[in-house]
Structure 1
Amino acid sequence: MTKRPYVICHMVPSVDGRIVTDGWRLPHGLLAEYERTAASFQADAWIIGRISMEPYAGKARLPASTRGARLPRTDFVARSDAPSYAVAIDPGGKLRWESAAIDGEHAVTVLTEQVPDRYLAFLRARGVSYLFGGKSRIDVPTVLRKLRSRFGIRRLLLEGGGKINGSFLAAGVIDELSVLVAPVADGGVGTPTLFDAREGPGPARHLKLVSVERRRGDLLWVRYRIRSSGHR
């Protein structure tokens, strides 16, 4: 059976689990502290959703149409020897990549088979690798196995929004949780949280505490392992 990467969810929530930082007046140096703790994992790649990736991807123009035979719905690997990878989950093919790399990290996008041919042609022309995660919905375990087999990714940082993180949690594929708790009590209602898997009772996962460390700016770095994550 094909192995998948070891998945570490690394986030900066408030003490009440909210993750939208607008209006928080965050401590000076929080971003640098977040990057330092993230780098300590020595991951091969990081993965986020479409909305979070948009500022990095850019706003290149998409061709109006394509001619010729329908492009096959098979994975396209433009590069498999990159030192690291930036992965986006973009089911509908909406990101407008200006480059095939983000700060030297090769771009990989995860699609459904419903994206149009012109978008696939656009990605190929840009040199952006793409994987199909399902016909109409993204199957997270399948995507992880492909990231391992196509690109050799062994350690993956999950840094998404509540829904993407929640989908990984529900699939039982998070191995470790790393939270840099901001010294903020948000108090918002209806804003994204660390995990937003579904309405009603969630896919509760039991955690084992690994470490607790005070960091600059009254930040608290807490690490857990997910019990019975099923990592292979």
Structure 2
Amino acid sequence: MVPSVDGRIVTDRWDLPPTFVSEYERTAATFGADAWMIGRISMEPYAGKATIPRRAPAERIPRTDFVARRDASSYAIVVDPGGKLRWTSSDIDGEHVITVLTEGVEDAYLAFLRSKGVSYVFGGRTEIDLGRALARLRASFGIETLLLEGGGKINGSFLDEDLVDELSVIVAPVVDGSVGTPTLFDRSSSRRSRASTPRHFELVSVERLPSDLVWIRYRRRR
């Protein structure tokens, strides 16, 4: 993630230097990850605006994982519980798309994903169980290392479930100061009581990058 000094993550107004993108990609590549994941809202610009047929298929589609491709060099994963994204393609810059759904998604939407060649796994009946979803991604696609790249709500959900092993942030030389904008971790007050438990990390490294960016890595303290 690339937060401001005060932890905000909406970068549109920051006027960051061109090196920001290249440094983000360079540092991310050091993890050798099998896949990256973002939330539905963050994924919308990548998905497109295809028309989703509303007519259900003649036979009910079983609620089992659909693997359109398991040999991709990298995967782009989105958590989309209700099945709202309107995919025009099954890949993003060559990375195969996988969507994480709940079992309540309509058959018409599952048929739509299959027609587009988009893989999917089920993370729960009515809500996403992130631990279950990660287990399915490993079992069906062999994904072992996953980069979680926001936004704040999905980051907060992973933190709530204690599924963040390492934190890698490039701190931008900006103080945002805005009120009500997403932060690095936006944790839901409606979750179980353990959601409010602070998570402790230990410092791994600090590196100054070009254009006054600072790369900081932390590892979860167990």
TM-score range, shorter chain: over 0.9
* Offset of residue 219 of structure 1: 0.2
* Aligned mate of 1:177, from 147, 158, 167: 167
Aligned partners of 1:197 and 1:203 also within 8 Å: no
Which shows bigger deviation, 58-67 or 119-128? Answer: 58-67
Query: How many residue pairs were aligned?
Result: 218
* Separation in 2, partners of 1:73, 1:199: 30
Aligned partners of 1:169 and 1:203 also within 8 Å: no
* Offset of residue 202 of structure 1: 2.7
* Separation in 2, partners of 1:173, 1:120: 28
Q: Given the alignment of the two structures, is residue 210 of structure 1 paired with residue 200 of structure 2, yes or no?
A: no
Residue in structure 2 matched with residue 105 of structure 1 by the alignment: 95
Matches within 5 A, 1:68-87: 68-87=58-77
* Offset of residue 56 of structure 1: 1.1
Residue in structure 1 matched with residue 55 of structure 2 by the alignment: 65
List alignment gaps of at least 5 residues for structure 2. none
Q: So what's the TM-score if we normalise by structure 2?
A: 0.95
Residue in structure 1 matched with residue 12 of structure 2 by the alignment: 22
SS of corresponding position for 2:38: strand
Residue in structure 1 matched with residue 156 of structure 2 by the alignment: 166
Q: Given the alignment of the two structures, is residue 227 of structure 1 paired with residue 217 of structure 2, yes or no?
A: no
* Offset of residue 191 of structure 1: 1.0
* Offset of residue 66 of structure 1: 2.3
With CA pairs under 8 Å and 6+ residues apart, which has the higher RCO, 1 or 2?
Answer: 1
Residue in structure 1 matched with residue 144 of structure 2 by the alignment: 154
RMSD: 1.3
Matches within 5 A, 1:182-193: 182-193=172-183
* Aligned mate of 1:136, from 126, 131, 156: 126
